[in-house]
Amino acid sequence: MRSRIPYVDTIARYLVKRKGKQIRPLLVLLSAQICGGISERTYRGAALVEILHTATLIHDDVVDGADTRRGIASINAVWKNKIAVLMGDYLYAKGLLLSLDHDDFHFLQIISTAVKRMSEGEIHQIAKSRQLDIDEETYIKIIGDKTASLLSTCCEIGAASATSDRSLHERMRLFGEQLGMSFQIRDDLLDYVGKKSITGKPTGLDLSEKKLTLPMIHALANAPRREARHVLGLIKDGAKSRKALQEVAEFVSHHGGIEYAKQKCEHYAAIARETLAPFADSPDKTALTNFIAFVVERAK
CATH number of domain containing 26? 1.10.600.10
Asked whether residue 209 carries a pLDDT value surpassing 70, the answer given is: no
Q: Which of 7-11, 60-64, 69-73, 287-291 has the lowest mean pLDDT?
A: 69-73
**Residue-number span of the structural domain to which 18 is assigned:** 6-271
What are the two backbone dihedrals, phi and then psi, of residue 46, each rounded to the nearest 5 degrees? -65, -40
> Is residue 128, in this structure, part of any structural domain at all?
yes
> Is residue 197, in this structure, part of any structural domain at all?
yes
Asked whether residue 299 carries a pLDDT value surpassing 90, the answer given is: no
Mean pLDDT, rounded, for 28-55: 95
> Is residue 133, in this structure, part of any structural domain at all?
yes
Please answer whether residues 217 and 185 qualify as being in contact, where contact means their C-beta atoms are separated by less than 8 angstroms: no
> Is residue 232, in this structure, part of any structural domain at all?
yes
Burial of 173 (0-12, 13-18, 19+ CB in 10 A): buried
Residue 60: pLDDT band by 50, 70, 90 thresholds? Answer: confident
What is the percentage of the chain residues whose pLDDT exceeds 70? Answer: 93
> Is residue 300, in this structure, part of any structural domain at all?
no
Length of the chain: 300
> Is residue 94, in this structure, part of any structural domain at all?
yes
Please answer whether residues 142 and 212 qualify as being in contact, where contact means their C-beta atoms are separated by less than 8 angstroms: no
Overall domain count for the chain: 1
Average pLDDT over all residues of the chain: 89
Query: How far apart (Å, rounded) are the C-alpha atoms in residues 176 and 269?
Result: 10
Whole-model pTM: value is: 0.88
Q: What is the pLDDT of residues 152-207, one digit of tens each?
A: 999 999 999 999 999 999 999 999 999 999 999 999 998 888 654 333 344 455 56
What are the two backbone dihedrals, phi and then psi, of residue 63, each rounded to the nearest 5 degrees? -60, -45
Mean pLDDT, rounded, for 232-259: 83
